[in-house]
Amino acid sequence: YLNARSTLRALVELKVIPVINENDTVVTDEIRFGDNDTLAALVANLVEADLLVILTDRDGMFDADPRNNPDANLIYEARADDPALDAVAGGTGGALGRGGMQTKLRAARLAARSGAHTIIVGGRIERVLDRLKAGERIGTLLSPERGMLAARKHWLAGHLQTRGTLVLDAGAVTALSQGNKSLLPVGVKLVQGSFRRGEMVVCVAPDGREIARGLANYSALEAQKIIGQSSEAIVGLLGYMAEPELVHRDNLILV
């Protein structure tokens, strides 16, 4: 997760547009996501996108099937978690994809978990992306229940399985609980457990109280080598530096 996230965000910062495809020649059955709609929502989560745009062969979501109901009306706005949308999404795929409107709704709900909005809109509409960027009201806008930061913290809180524990010093406890700071290696006294980069770890105070939990930027073996040291010393100790923080504040939630 963290490797993919870092790669995509670096590409975007370099003004490179990554092209990611589900039915690629290098994809095996073991790592298939099922459709590009789901994959797009996962990527939106990775890069913390504000908006996911899903282009389809319809102008958006309708309150009835427009292919056999001439009185069907376009749904301009709705909450992504609205259960009424399931009834109108149906289950059949369109001419240009195998996912159908149901998978697009599911993707919108997945994107909403990280606070992203989703627009489902017709890919044949002239200059559709330019018009969306200009604020024109086309397609169906599905909004998340929570704001981006709150949604991301909620997503992190849903990680019930932790792989290790970081014992902090008093200064790090204060920085995390009061200063909204990232966890630096210098503030960690002890590493417990076996975890890999990107896995969830628990951060505890010297007296054993749980302070926070988050995604580790380094494995347990790497963390043991850099704890108590400044971030500038990471390269000399490991030979490289993935991140200056042991746990970045964006990937950390207080408990």
The 3-state secondary structure of 97-133, one letter per residue: CCCHHHHHHHHHHHHHCCCCEEEEEECCCCCHHHHHH
pLDDT tens series, the chain, 255 aa:
778 888 898 999 999 999 988 766 555 555 555 678 888 988 888 888 899 999 998 899 998 888 888 888 999 999 999 999 998 887 544 444 445 888 999 999 988 888 899 999 999 999 999 999 999 999 999 999 877 666 667 667 766 689 999 999 999 999 999 878 999 999 999 999 999 999 999 999 999 999 999 999 999 999 999 999 999 999 999 999 989 999 999 889 888
Look at residues 192, 175, 187, 171 and name the one whose alpha carbon lies nearest to residue 228: 187
Long-range interactions of 207-211: CB distance < 8 A, separation 24+: 210/255, 211/168, 211/173, 211/176, 211/177, 211/254, 211/255
The pTM assigned to this predicted structure is: 0.67
Domain ranges of the chain: 2-150, 159-254
Q: Which phi and psi angles does 137 have, rounded to 5°?
A: -85, 85
CATH of 159-254, one of 2.30.130.10, 1.10.10.10, 3.30.43.10, 3.40.50.2000: 2.30.130.10
**What top-level class would CATH report for the domain 2-150?**
alpha beta
